[in-house]
Amino acid sequence: MNRRTLLKNSGNMSLLWGLNGLTLLESIFMSRVQAATGWDIHSLIRQLGPEDALILIPTHELYSRFNQEFNLRTAKLPAVRILVKNPQAIVTSLQWLKQENIPFSIRCGGHSFEGLSQSHSVVIDTRLMNRVDVDLDQHTVNVGGGASLGQIYNAISPLGFAYPGGTCPNVGVSGHLLGGGYGLLARSFGLACDSLLSAEIVTADGRIEVVSEDRNPDLFWALKGGGGGSFGVVTRFTLKIYPLPKVSIFSMSWNLPKNKAATIFNNWQAWIAEAPSEITSLFRFNKNPDGTFYLRTVGQCIKSETWLQTELRNLQMASPQRQSTKTLSFTDAASNFAGKQDYVSVYMKGKSDYIYNEISEIGINVALAGIDQGSAGAVGLAFDGYGGKIAQVSETESAFVHRNAHSVLQYFCQWQNPAASQSRMAHVRAVHKSLRPYVSGFSYVNYCDTDISNWAHAYWGQNLERLIDVKTKWDPENFFKHAQSIPVRG
């Protein structure tokens, strides 16, 4: 395209040339998106400088780099991605979205199981607000609403501190903490949301509010487990961190025929129910290519490796085929559990069930028979052990209600070829269905699942009505919404 054709095609976009760092060509492409969508993108560009936001449309050279999502099954390509850099840019963007009546989603780490941070239209993306500032005197950290868990851990672990979040480094702090957030320090220090001291949030009426025990306590309560994307865009968290230069970790595994697997698991579930709160542990099942089952339990402990080894004698009665203990820094332990730090995308479907009392041996055998119906590795089960500090907070003290659970059972199913989607989804749904008689009917919002018909009750139980009150007060027009956001009353 020569300069004359460029200018002819550009219309009034030449007025935008230079704004928000736009080249002439980019401003022409912006004009085209404006023409195609009918949205007044010019008005947004005029209000946001490059220091406020990076605005990406499909022709931008950085567009595909920022599209990466964990779950390819639910990935969407937005017409406009607004990578906000400060709270005021979010206020401006939200005002524009409201004026133009454009649906949008909010994105942090992009790990929602059901793509609830995805949109075909506009995404408010917080990833560039990822600063992490540690206060060594106060034992706190200030974290931007777009940081990943790995960014937090990399900042605090070399200083000898830990934070009780999940082990996957690419999970975003916002989605994770707002849904509760379980990690391998949870029985020692509580869920990720239990260490929240205050947050800054842009609300539906365009205010930038600070919430804490003392300021806006109703919203503070709701942010601790009420799920992401319902109350506003969180721009900053102040979190308590814990002096912990080293952790000790363990792993035990078995390859066994199906009929021997339930006994091993029963030993673990009895042990974790009574285990000291210094240890957090989970248990996984997978089918091997030779038809046997791979069973593995891992865990993390805030006491010494020697102390851990003594405590583990109770589990060793089940004669593991492989076992190890190690002493590591907190970040090395997280990498040990989660593997590489690269952002991985796969096709996946996840589901969950809370177990309140231990699951019966019949229930486990039903689950294993269900997994056995499919190919090796197709559907896996993981039980995250609860108790300890998680249970020391009452069910109503924060929005996270499942305080007295024994464990949460996660069904995970991942695949690479989209042609396998239908059969994989059918398989994981069948295993989940077969377990209805043996589980509580409650689910974990961070393992969100759009198959659940009564999802709001399943996620929040007795706290749902109070969450609806908070939502109705702060966002009466239901501006912040997705397939499983908190509804407004009436």
Task: Return residues touching ligand FAD (CB under 6 A).
Answer: 70, 105-113, 116-117, 126, 145, 166-168, 171-172, 174-176, 178-179, 181-183, 228-229, 233-234, 446, 482
Give 241 or 390: the residue with its C-beta nearer to ligand FAD: 390
**Positions of E strands within 29-171:** 53-56, 80-84, 104-107, 122-125, 132-135, 140-144, 161-162
**Positions of E strands within 172-292:** 196-202, 208-212, 233-240, 242-243, 247-256, 279-287
**In the complex, least distance from residue 112 CB atom to ligand FAD, rounded to whole angstroms:** 3
**In the complex, least distance from residue 126 CB atom to ligand FAD, rounded to whole angstroms:** 4
**In the complex, least distance from residue 464 CB atom to ligand FAD, rounded to whole angstroms:** 17
**In the complex, least distance from residue 77 CB atom to ligand FAD, rounded to whole angstroms:** 15
Nearest CA to 227 out of 451, 444, 477 is that of 444
Give 229 or 388: the residue with its C-beta nearer to ligand FAD: 229
State how far the Cα of 58 lies from the Cα of 44, in Å rounded to an integer.
17
- Long-range contacts from 135-139, C-beta under 8 angstroms, 24+ separation: 139/240, 139/241, 139/242, 139/243
Give 148 or 267: the residue with its C-beta nearer to ligand FAD: 148
Contact between 66 and 81 under an 8 Å Cβ cutoff? The reply is: yes
Give 16 or 442: the residue with its C-beta nearer to ligand FAD: 442
Alpha carbon distances (Å) from 360 to 263, 331, 344, 363, 414: 11, 36, 35, 5, 27
Q: Can you tell me whether residue 10 is helix, strand or coil?
A: helix
Give 108 or 435: the residue with its C-beta nearer to ligand FAD: 108
**In the complex, least distance from residue 68 CB atom to ligand FAD, rounded to whole angstroms:** 11
State how far the Cα of 198 lies from the Cα of 195, in Å rounded to an integer.
9
Give 234 or 318: the residue with its C-beta nearer to ligand FAD: 234
**In the complex, least distance from residue 76 CB atom to ligand FAD, rounded to whole angstroms:** 12
